[in-house]
């Protein structure tokens, strides 16, 4: 895989460099609530601009269903990128149309432009190879070189991720090089003990990664909504908590495999419960109660791991050499149920291990809860991409960057 440094060494001054970034940031109206992904791709864009490239940045945002939708415009992301770069960033109001062609043609050496949301064109996400290829041809006409740096999208077989690199000389940006390097530390020659913390709402989202990690990890700690299917599999009442009953046999199989392989598989000791799901807009007090994980009332729902579990999980990091965390421990968006996720984050910070926060809600939680990102070994920009890599899948966007 050719790197951006090698591309620059070959000369990029005066050339149009298409950077497939991941600017898929959360928005409230036009306000960006977490600019982590923009900050993550900034070094690649800045390096290209400093080398004299005419940088054309493209990304998706949300799921606009193949047609323009103002709610999913990349205009706020383009403005924030300009602030981070300390320079004006031009913005095209379409992807491959008149505005895009004019904005790109007007770029001088070292200048940067952002195209409108790629998913405003149905060819970006089409499952029809010909339709996707046609859109990739139009994108290729805007550039001389291609740099893939949208790690959060490399598991998608989309035109700008998979088809476009085949049409232009290409290289991997700094973010992708970093992300792949970190993932190799989690899959090849792993420093041990290797501890994995998995949360989030559904067991089904993590089935394949648990299957793989049972062969690699020394300890697996389970939290979030997915924990309750495991607790139910052990015969415990889980009340109104999230439950995927059809996956109970699979959970029992995983527990048996863990025991057979000597993998420590840790489930919550206690949880915070409430009769109703909390109001995430008003953040009104939910008045939770702490109960044993094997005694959840039938008419209540578990929302977070409890204090004993927080202490237990933190203790599992103290002798670790590698820790990978993906998925919050509870409904962290509400202050009454943020404690479990915060405890895991602090446990990682206190651990001597190389710590990796696996993107998605975990990365968002770290920032929302006010933790210093520099205290972690690495915070990934791609939750889904990270998980699929750990599952052993071939990621289309990475395969497309191979020479």
Q: Supply the pLDDT for residue 176.
A: 97
Q: Supply the pLDDT for residue 403.
A: 73
Secondary structure of residue 64 in the 3-state scheme:
coil
- DSSP state at residue 246: G
Kindly tell me if the per-residue pLDDT of 118 is higher than 80.
yes
Angstrom distance (rounded) from CA 68 to CA 66? 7
Q: Supply the pLDDT for residue 203.
A: 86
Q: Supply the pLDDT for residue 168.
A: 98
Whether 190-390 and 4-177 are alike in CATH topology: the answer is yes
Q: Supply the pLDDT for residue 214.
A: 95
Q: Measured between alpha carbons, how far is residue 344 from residues 31, 259, 274, 299, 331 in Å?
A: 29, 24, 21, 28, 14
Residues 6+ apart with CB under 8 A from 127: none
Where is the binding site, in residues? Answer: 22-24, 37, 60-63, 119, 156, 206, 333, 359-362
- Active-site residue (options: 202, 257, 367, 375): 202
Secondary structure of residue 203 in the 3-state scheme:
helix
Average pLDDT over residues 100-107: 98
Asked if 202 is an active-site residue, the reply is yes
Asked if 42 is an active-site residue, the reply is no
Confidence of residue 383 (pLDDT cuts 50, 70, 90): confident
Where is the binding site for ATP, in residues? Answer: 206, 333, 359-362
Looking at 59-169, list the stretches that DSSP marks H as alpha helix, in order from N- to C-terminal side: 75-85, 98-105, 129-140
Average pLDDT over residues 102-106: 98
Secondary structure of residue 301 in the 3-state scheme:
strand
Break the chain into its structural domains and give their ranges. 4-177, 190-390
Q: Supply the pLDDT for residue 189.
A: 84
Q: Supply the pLDDT for residue 241.
A: 95
Asked if 283 is an active-site residue, the reply is no
Annotate 317-352 with b (16+ C-beta within 10 A) or e (fewer). Answer: beebebbbbbbbbbbbbbebbbbbbbbbbbbbeebe
Percent with pLDDT over 70 in the chain: 100
Angstrom distance (rounded) from CA 403 to CA 389? 19
Q: Please state which CATH class domain 4-177 belongs to.
A: alpha beta
Range name among 5-19, 159-173, 374-388 with the lowest pLDDT average: 374-388
- Active-site residue (options: 37, 47, 132, 157): 37
- Active-site residue (options: 360, 382, 383, 397): 360
Asked if 384 is an active-site residue, the reply is yes
Q: Supply the pLDDT for residue 243.
A: 94
Average pLDDT over residues 386-391: 91
Percent with pLDDT over 90 in the chain: 92
Average pLDDT over residues 192-206: 93
- Active-site residue (options: 199, 223, 330, 384): 384
Q: Supply the pLDDT for residue 60.
A: 98
Where is the binding site for substrate, in residues? Answer: 22-24, 37, 60-63, 119, 156
Confidence of residue 202 (pLDDT cuts 50, 70, 90): confident
Phi-psi label, residue 165: left if phi above 0, alpha if psi -120 to 50, beta otherwise: alpha
Is the N-terminal amide bond of 52 cis, ω within 30° of 0?
Answer: no
CATH for 190-390 is 3.40.50.1260
Kindly tell me if the per-residue pLDDT of 359 is higher than 80.
no
Q: Supply the pLDDT for residue 372.
A: 94
Digit-coded pLDDT (tens) for 248-285: 999 999 999 999 999 999 999 999 999 999 999 899 99
Cross-strand partners of 145:
17
């Amino acid at each position: 895989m050719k790197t951006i440094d090698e591309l620059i060494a070959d000369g990029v001054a005066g050339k149009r460099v298409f950077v497939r970034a991941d600017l898929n940031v959360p928005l409230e109206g036009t306000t960006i609530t977490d600019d982590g992904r923009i900050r993550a791709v900034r070094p690649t864009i800045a390096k290209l601009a400093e080398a004299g490239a005419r940088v054309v940045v493209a990304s998706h945002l949300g799921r606009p269903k193949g047609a323009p939708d103002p709610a999913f415009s990349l205009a706020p992301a383009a403005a924030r990128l300009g602030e981070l770069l300390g320079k004006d960033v031009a913005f095209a109001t379409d992807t491959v149309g008149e505005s895009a062609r004019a904005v790109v043609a007007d770029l001088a050496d070292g200048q940067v432009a952002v195209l409108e949301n790629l998913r405003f064109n149905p060819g970006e996400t089409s499952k029809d190879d010909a339709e996707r290829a046609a859109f990739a041809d139009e994108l290729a006409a805007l550039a001389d070189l291609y740099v893939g740096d949208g790690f959060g999208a490399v598991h998608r077989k989309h035109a700008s991720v998979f088809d476009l690199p085949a049409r232009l000389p290409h290289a991997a940006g700094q973010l992708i090089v970093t992300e792949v390097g970190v993932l190799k530390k989690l899959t090849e020659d792993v420093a041990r003990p290797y501890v994995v913390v998995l949360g989030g709402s559904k067991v089904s989202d993590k089935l394949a990664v648990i299957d793989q990690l049972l062969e690699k990890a020394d300890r697996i700690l389970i939290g979030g909504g997915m924990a309750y299917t495991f607790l139910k599999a052990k015969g415990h009442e889980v009340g109104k908590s999230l439950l995927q009953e059809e996956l109970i046999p699979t959970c029992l199989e995983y527990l048996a495999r863990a025991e057979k392989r000597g993998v420590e598989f840790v489930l919550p000791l206690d949880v915070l419960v409430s009769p109703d799901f909390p109001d995430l807009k008003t953040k009104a007090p939910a008045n939770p109660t702490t109960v044993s994980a094997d005694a959840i009332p039938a008419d209540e729902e578990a929302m977070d791991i409890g204090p004993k579990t927080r202490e237990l999980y933190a203790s599992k990091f103290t002798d670790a050499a590698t820790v990978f965390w993906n998925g919050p421990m509870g409904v962290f968006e509400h202050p009454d149920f943020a404690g479990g996720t915060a405890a895991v984050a602090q446990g990682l910070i206190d651990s001597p291990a190389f710590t990796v926060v696996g993107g998605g809600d975990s990365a968002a939680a770290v920032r929302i809860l006010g933790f210093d990102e520099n205290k972690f070994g690495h915070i990934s920009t791609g939750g889904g991409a990270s998980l699929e890599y750990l599952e052993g899948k071939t990621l289309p966007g990475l395969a497309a960057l191979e020479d």
